[in-house]
Amino acid sequence: MQWWRTVPAMAMLEKGAVRLHYETWGSGPAVLLLAPGGLRASRIETWAAAPWNPIEALSDRHRVVAMDQRNTGTSFAPISARDGWTSYANDQMAVMDHLGIERFCVMGMCIGGAFVLELAREAPDRVAAGVALQPIGLDGNRDEFRTIFDDWRSTIADDHPEASEDDWEGCWTNLFGGDATLWSVPDSVLPRLEPPLLVLQGNDVYHPTSASRRVADLVPGATLVEQWKEPEHQPAARAAVDAFLAAHPG
């Protein structure tokens, strides 16, 4: 039986005009999962296409929480010029608050890696540790991210009659208009991040190797795993993640 057929709890959290779909599995130290797929597809089901699925890998010994980010999957939020990384972090913390989970580890892939760093900055008292799998980053690729943003916009625009051109452009600027290597957190903040961090290195235009290495170099005590996606490297990488989470339980 597939993992998505055995989900013990799924729900929708409503906070004002925002609706957040989340699901939980298992019991034990809590791990919040923030899926890959960019703005358009950072949702629970995307984990099934990852090199390995942390829902399957962790839910036998952790309380795993996964969610659809705003405006993907079945989650929704109005678009405004104020939207940015903090908007997503507030959503993520709202889910954990709703579940009564005070302290937790957080694992994110792709855009989820940027979310991990933002949570580590905003809630170091809540985040016990973070795992960033091939985090997105800036390295001569802003045009590629503009294309991704515009594609996401075109997909959901009909659902957002409230959003003006200024709202969309403000959202773009807040997310991807800056010069921080990791987009979500200024480089100057990285040496002051408190939660321990494990980085599994990226190696393509959207997840540049330079970004993974810069995070590992600047965040105190961060650990870099260079090879992890290929089948021959997955057992060792998964063991490294397991050991890291065991060493920093929520």
How far, CA to CA in Å, does 161 sit from each of 40, 68, 146, 168? 18, 21, 21, 11
How far, CA to CA in Å, does 151 sit from each of 145, 158, 250? 10, 13, 36
pLDDT band for position 5 (50/70/90)?
Answer: very low
pTM of the predicted structure, to 2 decimals: 0.95
3-247 sits in which CATH class? alpha beta
Closest CA to 78 of 12, 152, 18: 18
Phi and psi at 18, nearest 5°, equal: -95, 130
pLDDT, one tens digit per residue, over 100-129 is 999 999 999 999 999 999 999 999 999 999
Residue ranges of the alpha helices (H) in 99-233?
111-122, 142-156, 165-176, 209-218
Q: Taking the domains of the chain in order of start, what are their residue ranges?
A: 3-247
